[in-house]
Amino acid sequence: MAEALDLDAMLQRFRDRAHAVKSRPLPPIAGDERTRFIEQAQNDFQDFAIISDAKATLVDGVLTLTIDLRSPGE
């Protein structure tokens, strides 16, 4: 499994997912369902965007994602 893993392609898929969530049209729902849909879309975007910004390394079969959550300039 580890030999076939393309880390750059994996991170690109997360970038693509983040973009897809951001450009996803809002379905014809209202009220609480609409609020839940919007909250879930925001969470999905955040999760995909964070992972897509990671530095990925694969050493001895261990995948490590390093994610710098510091603000720019810190």
pLDDT band at 22 (very low <50, low <70, confident <90, very high): very high
Q: Are 55 and 66 in contact (CB under 8 A)?
A: yes
Q: Which of 19, 11, 1, 4 is nearest to 56 (CA)?
A: 11
Structure tokens belonging to residue 34:
């609409």
- Chain mean pLDDT for the chain: 91
pLDDT at 1: 53
Checking if the pLDDT of 2 tops 60, the result is no
**What residue segments make up the domains of the chain, in order of their start?**
2-66
- For the stretch 29-64, pLDDT in tens is 899 999 999 999 999 999 999 999 999 999 998 999
Q: Are 56 and 64 in contact (CB under 8 A)?
A: yes
